[in-house]
Amino acid sequence: MADHGTGNYEKTYAAAKNDPERFWGEVAEGIDWIKRWDRVIDDSRKPFYRWFSGGVLNTCYNCVDRHVENGRGDQLAMVFDSPLSGTTRKFTYRELQDLTARHAGALRDMGVDKGDTVIIYMPMVPEAIVAMLACARLGAVHSVVFGGFAAPELAKRIVDARPRVVLSASCGLLPGRTVAYKPLLDEALEIAGVPDTPCLVLQRPELKADLVAGRDVDWDEAVARASPADCVPVAATDPLYIIYTSGTTGKPKGVVRDNGGHAVALRWSMEAVYDTQPGDVYWAASDIGWVVGHSYIVYGPLLQGCTTIVYEGKPVGTPDAGAFWRVCAEHGVNTLFTAPTAFRAIKKEDPNGELVRQYDMSRFRCLFLAGERSVPDDIAYASGILGVPVIDHWWQTEMGWPGLSNCMGIEHLPVKPGSVTKPVPGYVIEMLDESGHPRPNGEVGNLAIKLPMPPGTLYTLWHNEEGYRETYLSRYPGYYLSGDAGVYDTDGYASVMARIDDIINVAGHRLSTGQMEQILAAHPAVAEGAVVGVADAIKGQVPIGMVVLKSGVAESEAEICKELVASVRNQLGAVAAFKDVVVVQRLPKTRSGKVLRVTIRTMADGVEPKVPATIEDDSVLPEITAALQALGYPRQAA
């Protein structure tokens, strides 16, 4: 029998690699099926593989109803904690079942049927999670758009997804302000040319919205009058959701996830990667607008029968850098998953970790980081203040669940700070050169995943199969191209260094900006930093750095910058040509915490940046402009 639970990592990895049909067929027994599959892997249309073809199930049933039927109805399913609104709400699995069934009934009353698309444009409130589950209950395809997204960006997604209904709320909350969603939604529908699209609107007490008569429906009223809807059987290969990710073209890139493979992989990942069991309290400190929210606020924890935390707040400022520790202590969190940038924000405000000691963290077992590369200093800080394993791991929107990680539920391998450990069973990951040959250990290559990728990963782009082939499959036949650069060491441990675009060419030498960022972050005064390669008339490209300092640093900025330049040159040599670094108050980031390196680079090169709609706060850009000018950028062409 294949080993797909706890045990030896090498044994489990070999089982998944050598006989994936048997391995995943046995893992799939962890999901309740209405009809078993005909084929575990359908390879009849290579390179477009499908998982569990012929199988029939319902994802919402697996997330909610089956736990009630199996005697877990009184267990907490979801805890909502909002320091921004000052409210906490708790829901058992039985209460979540009732809410989801009635909300599905309200959607059905608005004409939503199996196969229809529904856009969810909402803040981090329990109703948003219920909405996702209600769509899955009906067999409808949801597409969550980050709440507060600009109207033109929301309009692009409306045009591409063609929703039957849009679900929204009157407002979202940020520290110190309220963001009205309804005017943005109304504008987006006009831009998209579908102003009559029905909208279900949750009225929040902080700000009520004006409803359009005959089109908009009050959320609470619709749910109150609806009769509960049963779970609708869907094919394993039917789409569950669309999630849009950034692309180089103007057209949105709609990653599609199916029902069967997704449920199988997500439930197993909770056990194998995150070492969680039914009844554990799991918190992914993210937003449902991002893939982390889809996978590990909603589907993963609920498929596994855990209690999931839904948090409307920030790591700092709501009210202080102890916000995460309060939530963990009050709700008994066992496992936390967040972005390294959250910890860098905490480190900046509380460099000695004094606030964590004010809370009872006795039930806390493990911290997982992903979204940006965790440099060794991130790991050292987090493990130092928490005293638990800190695991950096890697995956992408397209993948849906981790591809490189220390699989804590299989075998806790030794941690190497700066590395994301080894491939998760089911993934065959190679670092390829330009010709498609594996790079030797120690040499950076393009990170590619051998086909077929495991269940739960994307199987196409929404209404754009050719775009899927061209973007991900054409560069290396038989492989998915991740767009990231990575390296294996002599022990087979992987490090994901940067996006391929962030491997810079300095006078013919390929250098990783991520490696330079790691050196900057190791300085005791630095909270976080970014390095980008900018155009140079002689060397082709040269690196420049920006750093944010920790609070209370007494040393002068000039002296710190001088030390940083010396550190990079000492560790990488003069070939790095690292001469320019500047202190800034903050770095430009997306709402999910990714540093906008491309934006910095284009500004330094004197090109008008295309600022992404996902930027957290564009008021940071004038400071970045001033910092670049202080370094002499953009430079005049020779």
What is the model's pLDDT at position 508? 59
Tokens of 48: 């477009």
Q: Is the pLDDT of residue 430 over 60?
A: yes
Domain boundaries, the chain: 9-313+393-486, 507-630
Q: Is the pLDDT of residue 102 over 90?
A: yes
Least confident of 19-23, 35-39, 99-103, 597-601: 597-601
What is the model's pLDDT at position 507? 63
Distance CA 474, CA 477 (A): 6
Maximum distance among all Cα pairs of the chain, rounded to whole angstroms: 74
Amino acid occupying residue 543: P
Distance CA 21, CA 365 (A): 33
Distance CA 365, CA 188 (A): 44
Q: Which residues contact 511 (CB under 8 A, 6 or more apart)?
A: 503, 504, 505, 543, 572, 575, 576
What is the model's pLDDT at position 608? 85
What is the arithmetic mean of pLDDT over 291-306? 98
The string of DSSP codes covering 425-472 is TT--EEEE-TTSPBPPTTS-EEEEEESSPPTTS--EETT-HHHHIIII
Contact present, 332 and 355 (Cβ < 8 Å): no
Collapsed DSSP state (helix, strand, coil) of residue 347: helix
Q: Which residues contact 413 (CB under 8 A, 6 or more apart)?
A: 9, 406, 407, 421, 422
Average pLDDT, whole number, for the chain? 93
Distance CA 427, CA 451 (A): 9
Contact present, 343 and 316 (Cβ < 8 Å): no
Q: Is the pLDDT of residue 193 over 90?
A: yes
Question: For 507-630, which CATH class?
Answer: alpha beta
Residue 515 belongs to what H/E stretch?
A: helix 513-521
Q: Is the pLDDT of residue 510 over 70?
A: no
Q: At what angle do helices 597-604 and 621-630 cross, to 10 degrees?
A: 50
- For the ranges 28-42, 331-345, 611-625, the maximum mean pLDDT occurs at 28-42
State residue 628 phi and psi, 5-degree precision: -65, -40
Contact present, 108 and 138 (Cβ < 8 Å): yes
Whether the bond into 126 is cis, omega within 30 of 0: no
Of residues 235, 211, 207, the one with CA closest to residue 221: 211
Least confident of 225-234, 268-277, 498-507, 600-609: 498-507
Q: Is the model more confident about 27 or about 569?
A: 27
What is the model's pLDDT at position 1? 34
Distance CA 200, CA 217 (A): 5
Whether the bond into 195 is cis, omega within 30 of 0: no
Residue appearing with tokens 């086909």: 451
Query: What whole-number percentage of the chain has pLDDT above 90?
Result: 81
Of residues 373, 312, 308, the one with CA closest to residue 343: 373
What is the model's pLDDT at position 353? 96
What is the model's pLDDT at position 246? 67
Q: Which residues contact 74 (CB under 8 A, 6 or more apart)?
A: 92, 93, 94
Q: Is the pLDDT of residue 249 over 80?
A: no
Q: In the structure, what pLDDT confidence band is assigned to residue 79 with cuts at 50, 70 and 90?
A: very high
Q: Is the pLDDT of residue 635 over 80?
A: no
pLDDT in tens, 155-172: 999 999 999 999 999 999
Distance CA 399, CA 567 (A): 36
Q: In the structure, what pLDDT confidence band is assigned to residue 591 with cuts at 50, 70 and 90?
A: confident
Collapsed DSSP state (helix, strand, coil) of residue 15: helix
Within a 13 Å sphere around the CA of 244, how many CA atoms are in the beta-carbon half? 29
What is the model's pLDDT at position 245? 85
What is the arithmetic mean of pLDDT over 492-501? 83
pLDDT in tens, 434-484: 899 999 999 989 999 999 999 999 999 999 999 999 999 999 999 999 999
| Length of the chain, in residues | 638
Least confident of 211-220, 251-260, 302-311: 251-260
- Name the CATH architecture for the domain at 9-313+393-486: 3-Layer(aba) Sandwich (3.40)
Q: How would you write 562-608 as a 3-class SS string?
A: HHHHHHHHHHHCHHHCCCEEEECCCCCEECCCCECHHHHHHHHCCCC
What is the arithmetic mean of pLDDT over 108-130? 98
Contact present, 424 and 433 (Cβ < 8 Å): no
Q: Is the pLDDT of residue 57 over 70?
A: yes
State residue 157 phi and psi, 5-degree precision: -75, -35
Q: Is the model more confident about 118 or about 569?
A: 118
The string of DSSP codes covering 138-171 is HT-EEEEEETT--HHHHHHHHHHH--SEEEEESE
Distance CA 144, CA 129 (A): 10
Least confident of 223-237, 276-290, 380-394, 510-524: 510-524
The string of DSSP codes covering 64-87 is IIHHIIIIITTSEEEEEEETTTTE
The string of DSSP codes covering 189-223 is HHHHT-TT--EEEE-BTTB--PPPTTTEEEHHHHH
Residue 343 belongs to what H/E stretch?
A: helix 340-349
Our CA dihedral for 516, 517, 521, 525, rounded to 10 degrees, sits at 80
State residue 432 phi and psi, 5-degree precision: -105, 150
